[in-house]
Structure 1
Amino acid sequence: MAVTKAAYTHVGPGLPPLHGERAGALILGSFPSPKSREQGFFYGHPQNRFWPLLASLTGEPVPDWADIEAKKQIILRHGLAVWDTIGACDIRGASDASIRNVQPNDVAALIRRLGVQAVFCNGAASGRVYARYAQPLTGLSATVLPSTSPANAAWSMEKLRAVWGTALTPFLQGDG
């Protein structure tokens, strides 16, 4: 029996960026998953490890999957910003590998406006899009971190915490 792939769908716009007045570090995903678009917020798949990971690194309680306000506060209290490199694209399901016809977000303008000092990409797809569209405009290279997606099962939470912690901790601000 032949396995049929999901059809390509043109999806966009994605989500607006989440940030306070200033941000020392910007964390970029590629494009919101179907679950994130359904929830209307970043990393909305209940098995994505992004929110438990950030809670661990900031000392915050792990937010309930549906508690968007608690998730926002982790970002805002610690001087971070979150967005996606892609504003619209053609995609099959949630597969970053299938993304084509990219319409990039204006990440460079956000970086300038917020005074971002460091850019972190959540996974290789985000890193590729950032390098192609935003880095030439900012001159700021990104650190590509292993994806927090449940599809990246090769990386345990412990390994993610070690790598993300080393990269992100110098840019985390305290309450304020």
Structure 2
Amino acid sequence: MSEVLAHPFKPIVFKDTQILILGSFPSIQSFEKNFYYAHPRNQFWKILENMTGYPVNNRDQKVWLLKECKFGLWDMVKVCSRENSLDSSLENEEVNDLGTFLEDHPSITKLAFTGKKAEALFKTHFPHLSIETVYLPSPSAAYAKMRFAQKAAEYKKQLGYV
């Protein structure tokens, strides 16, 4: 049976954030560790480390990397039902108010989606928003169509680190 869950943490954003990276909804492990992309096999932080050269050994280093690179981090889904951590199990999604968020953070000029689900939710709920968007391959270990090096190269390209 699906459990109804509310997003457990706030967005990470700074006054000068330029690119908001949006996932779908935190994994069960992320809930347990109270931080974004906390599953040990998720490649998100290792991809950013590879791309920027900044270490990601703890939460403080991860937040510093985001601030230094002018990245923000949030998720599309505010509340949903799910049985496991896969995007395909998300049901009854209520999305975050991205329009108001972007109004409140005018330095953000690009949205980057870490997976097809986040991108699809944006296209469904916010087609009226005029902002540059890019797709990033899912950093989840469950997304095995691309190897780490391929994912890292695509993140570099889409986030302007080429």
1:97-136 equivalences under 5 Å are 97-114=88-105, 115-136=107-128
Q: For residue 48 of structure 1, give the secondary structure of its aligned residue in structure 2.
A: coil
RMSD (Å), alpha carbons: 1.5
Shift of 1:141: 4.7
1:1-176 equivalences under 5 Å are 7-61=1-55, 63-64=56-57, 67-114=58-105, 115-136=107-128, 138-169=129-160
Unaligned runs of 5+ in 1: 1-6
Paired with 1:108 and 1:21, the residues of 2 have a C-alpha distance of: 17
Paired with 1:75 and 1:11, the residues of 2 have a C-alpha distance of: 26
Paired with 1:22 and 1:107, the residues of 2 have a C-alpha distance of: 17
Paired with 1:110 and 1:158, the residues of 2 have a C-alpha distance of: 33
Tell me whether 112-121 or 76-85 shows the greater mean CA deviation: 112-121
Paired with 2:120 and 2:92, the residues of 1 have a C-alpha distance of: 14
Shift of 1:91: 0.9
Shift of 1:135: 3.8
Contact 2:8-2:34 at 8 Å conserved across structures: no
With the length of structure 2 as denominator, give the TM-score of the two structures. Answer: 0.93
Report Cα offsets for 1:99-136 as digits up to 9, x if no partner.
Answer: 11111111222222222111110000010111122342
Unaligned runs of 5+ in 2: none
Identity, in percent, stands at 25
Paired with 2:71 and 2:127, the residues of 1 have a C-alpha distance of: 19
Contact 2:43-2:139 at 8 Å conserved across structures: yes
Paired with 2:98 and 2:73, the residues of 1 have a C-alpha distance of: 11
The aligned length equals 161
Contact 1:14-1:31 at 8 Å conserved across structures: no
Q: For residue 154 of structure 1, give the secondary structure of its aligned residue in structure 2.
A: coil
Contact 1:29-1:121 at 8 Å conserved across structures: yes
Contact 1:146-1:160 at 8 Å conserved across structures: yes
Shift of 1:94: 0.4
